[in-house]
Structure 1
Amino acid sequence: GDDPSQIGMKLRDEGVQGVPVPDVKAVTDKKVGEILDEHDAGRAVPEDLRNLLARAVRLRDHIDENQTDYHNKRALQNTESKIRRLIDYYRGDEIDETFAYSYEAAVEILE
């Protein structure tokens, strides 16, 4: 259920049976995401892109209720720009070649 970064923080802070694990890769020679993928527990969308999609959906919902909030309209534009750049980066490897960002696609991914 948790993202790889949250799992890494829990291992660092709480540890395994009370023993902290400061660096998962130093212990296992694999990143947390690679371990999750081996056990078919990985996500379809990379964590950083998923977080940006969630932010864009929240901003869009806020702007629908507050049309004159120009600061958050600009924040939405910046966030959507980051999403498009990140999609170009991941396209072909971790994201389908035909994927294009839209609000509806973001809501569908987050469900």
Structure 2
Amino acid sequence: MARMHTRRRGSSGSDKPVADDPPEWSDVDSDAVENRIVELAEQGHSPSEIGLKLRDEGVQGTPVPNVQLATGKKVTEVLEGHDASADLPEDLRNLMERAVGLREHMAANPNDAQNKRALQNTEAKVRRLADYYRGDALDADFQYTYEHAQELL
């Protein structure tokens, strides 16, 4: 399958091994994991950062290799259950941050044609992703604009 904005083909990625049960060495309580997730979210960490911190630091000194195996829910589902979820989905927020940064770069460097193309591609991705989330995670009347993105971020 070709990449979205180039004519090159992408390289295949690796898959996580299929597992139904958490490993024996990781015997953490699901309530403790959920409390740690909410605590990290209140500190301002995104769901992917929370997963990395749980993998590296763990809960009470025991690493959590997979939150879904330990709790039966994904990190975002745990956050929604505790009313600690973010106002924007993480992938949309990251793309909007990139688009705002590229727009600021283009204001300072108007002749940078390569980054002008990167800005066009990034804003196209933001619009497609907003179409996907519109009505569920976003308001039905959400429209991406640079000014609106600056306000949200």
1:1-111 equivalences under 5 Å are 1-110=44-153
Scaled by the length of structure 2, the TM-score of the pair is 0.70
Of all paired residues, the percent bearing the same amino acid is 63
Q: Could you tell me which amino acid in structure 2 is paired with residue 42 of structure 1?
A: S
SS in 2 for 1:8: helix
Distance in structure 1 (CA, Å) of the matches to 2:53 and 2:149: 28
Normalised by the length of structure 1, the TM-score is 0.96
Question: Which portions of structure 1, spanning 4 or more consecutive aligned residues, are displaced by more than 6 angstroms?
Answer: none
Please give the secondary structure, in 1, of the residue aligned with 2:123.
helix
Task: Structure 1: give runs of 5+ residues left out of the alignment.
Answer: none
In 2, Cα distance between the equivalents of 1:75 and 1:3? Answer: 25
Structure 2 residues not aligned, in runs of 5+: 1-43
Residues 48-85 of structure 1 show CA distances to partners (whole Å, capped at 9, x for unaligned) of: 00000000000000100000011111000000000000
2:103 alignment partner AA: R
More helix by share: 1
Q: Secondary structure at the match of 1:101?
A: coil
Q: How far has the Cα of 1:23 moved from its partner? A: 0.4
Q: Count matched residues.
A: 110
What amino acid is the match of 2:148?
A: A
Report the alpha carbon displacement of residue 18 of structure 1 after superposing the two structures with TM.
Answer: 1.6
What amino acid sits opposite 1:4 in the alignment? P
Determine which structure has more spread, i.e. the larger CA radius of gyration: 2
CA-based RMSD of the aligned residues comes to 0.7
Matched position secondary structure for 1:80: helix
